[in-house]
Amino acid sequence: MSIHRLTALVPPPAQPSEVGSPERWQQTEQQLGTPLPSDYRDFVFTYGSGLFARFYRVYNPFAASEYTALVPSVERTLFAIREKKAKWPEEVPYRLHPERPGLLPWGNDENGSEYYWLTEGPPHSWFVVSENVRGEGFREYGRCMTDFLAEVLLGKIRALAGDYPQDDDRVFEAWTK
């Protein structure tokens, strides 16, 4: 659950973009109605906004873009998955935020897959659930977000993309306003 494990694999930018303040962080948690995991907070303050390892977009509470800002992305993703659950309940075997335990989106990837926390217990114990929208559906990982990302890069977790990752994928491409 340490950001240090991840930064050893993917160096963060010297000047992360769209890094907010602890006060704005509290506002985001109030909007969502829940505290967020500390490893996620550390990720946002360390990396800012950008493309992680050439593949993952981790939503950022302070992002200017509605497509990567946490609260609008949570609302948009939950709206879509609620519609899917209404039509095909067997394909979405989870409750959805704000229900507990429920899925709370934290990011997506270049292939259109979605990533969630399963909000069971305190935030430091939430683990990652992925939704591969092109096939296998949902998968649980039993790891926090930063451990999940690190273990994908180390090849300990099979990525949802074919021959990913390669050594040259261990970069962070920061976005600027």
Give, for 130, the enclosing helix (H) or strand (E).
strand 127-132
11-38 pLDDT per residue, tens: 999 999 999 998 999 999 999 999 999 9
- Determine contact, residues 105/92, Cβ cutoff 8 Å: no
Domain span at residue 21 reads: 3-169
Q: How confident is the model at residue 144 (pLDDT cuts 50, 70, 90)?
A: very high
CATH number assigned to the domain comprising residue 16: 3.40.1580.10
Q: Is residue 175 part of a domain?
A: no
The pLDDT assigned to 177 comes to 58
CA atoms within 13 A on the CB side of 146: 22
* Residue 175 scores a pLDDT above 80: yes
* Residue 176 scores a pLDDT above 80: no
Q: Is residue 126 part of a domain?
A: yes
58-72 pLDDT per residue, tens: 999 999 999 999 999
Q: How many structural domains are present in the chain?
A: 1
The SS3 of residue 37 is: coil
Q: Is residue 46 part of a domain?
A: yes
Alpha-carbon separation of residue 126 from 67, 142, 168 (angstroms): 23, 8, 30
Q: Is residue 96 part of a domain?
A: yes
Q: Is residue 174 part of a domain?
A: no
Q: Is residue 177 part of a domain?
A: no
* Residue 94 scores a pLDDT above 80: yes
Percent of the chain with pLDDT over 90: 84
